[in-house]
Structure 1
Amino acid sequence: MATLSVWKFSNAEDATRAQQLLLSLQKQELIQVHDSATVSWEEGAKKPKTRQGTSPAGLGALNGTFWGMLFGLLFFVPLLGAAIGAAAGALAGSLTDIGINDDFIRSVRDQVVPGTSAIFVLTSATVSDKVVDAFRSEGLHPELITTNLSAEEEKRLQHAFAAED
């Protein structure tokens, strides 16, 4: 089963670093990254920069249209007209089945703001403690915004990242 998670970082650069680290961990067979995309929002910028990850196999599990629509829904819809807003509403309804609902959208919008970054990652086969250790050793301290992990899995993961070194 694949898990979609969103991790926020306290600066505009760390999501890109995290994306590279996850690909490195995949080569070590500590995680399977099916696809990823980053959002980087420089302080003072009107909107964030987005970037789809590159899959080692050359083809991500999700396509650019998915990421584009998701990021448009998350960050640009308030600036668009009613017709596009209605289409985005229909898209949002279709994404509910994979854990992208109003709470997800609100949570990401509220937390990914100028001066921060985030990685959206679809993963499976994760050796959580090794991934957490790798993030810490690189000085990366993400905050889990949202995931479709079970409540117990999410609690364990948040606890692991919150634990003192």
Structure 2
Amino acid sequence: MADLVVLGYPDEATAEKVFSQVQELQKSYIIDGSAAVLQRGEDGKIHVQTPTGAVGAGAATGALWGGLLGLLFFVPIGGLIVGGLMGAALGKAADMGIDDDFRAKVQDVLKPGSSAVVLVFSKVTPDKALDALAPYGGEVLRTSLTKEAEEEITKALAHA
């Protein structure tokens, strides 16, 4: 089972510093997983940054993170959540381990003008990771994902 962790920050600069720190923790095998930075502009639009750069609309990573964002924010991304597909999308969110309460908290953390680092990981050395990330503060949200959801995310990011 994997965990989905959202680290919320009031500004883009802090989230980018944390993202760089997470990448160092990954290189040191303290965190084993995938990460992205979400930036919500003042206009409410969400931009996704992964280790390989900004996510493009046609990329597998873009589809995956776009789908995850659609499930978290109930926004139409690539036509995923429209009309009769809402029930299926909500079912998919529940299958991934993302409940209504978690979605509401993520939406509250990622307000216009703010940013977040999103981590999907199956292994972490908690004390070392917490020590490295503690100086940045931020709001921490965490939920568990199914093994299938973890594999889907990892596979998409590997092809980015």
- TM-score normalised by length of structure 2: 0.70
Counterpart contact for 2:37–2:50, Cα < 8 Å: yes
Matches within 5 A, 1:53-132: 53-54=51-52, 63-75=61-73, 77=75, 84-132=82-130
Query: Rg bigger for which structure?
Result: 1
Letter in structure 2 aligned against 1:28: S
**Residues 107-155 of structure 1, C-alpha deviation per residue, up to 9 Å, x if partnerless?**
211221023211221113211111111123xx41121123229xxxxxx
Tell me which residue corresponds to 1:39: 38
SS at match of 2:117: strand
Provide closer, same or farther for how the CA distance between residues 88 and 21 of structure 1 changes in structure 2, counting only shifts above 3 A: farther
CA contact (8 A) 2:11 2:114 kept: yes
Unaligned stretches of 5+ in structure 2? Answer: 53-59, 146-160
Task: Quote how far apart the aligned CAs of 1:76 are.
Answer: 6.0
For 1:76 and 1:95, the matched residues in 2 are separated by 10
Query: 1:50 offset after TM fit, Å?
Result: 1.8
Q: Report what 2:15 is aligned to.
A: 15
Find runs of 4+ consecutive structure 1 residues off by over 6 angstroms. 78-81
Query: 1:8 and 1:85 mapped to 2: Cα distance?
Result: 30
Percent of pairs identical after alignment?
A: 35
Contact 2:31 2:121 in 1 (8 A): yes
Q: Which amino acid aligns with 2:7?
A: W
Cα 1:63–1:48 change in 2 (3 A) is closer
Task: State whether residues 39 and 119 of structure 1, in contact with CA within 8 Å, keep that contact through their aligned partners in structure 2.
Answer: yes
Question: What is the one-letter code of the residue matched to 1:37?
Answer: A
TM-score by length of 1: 0.68
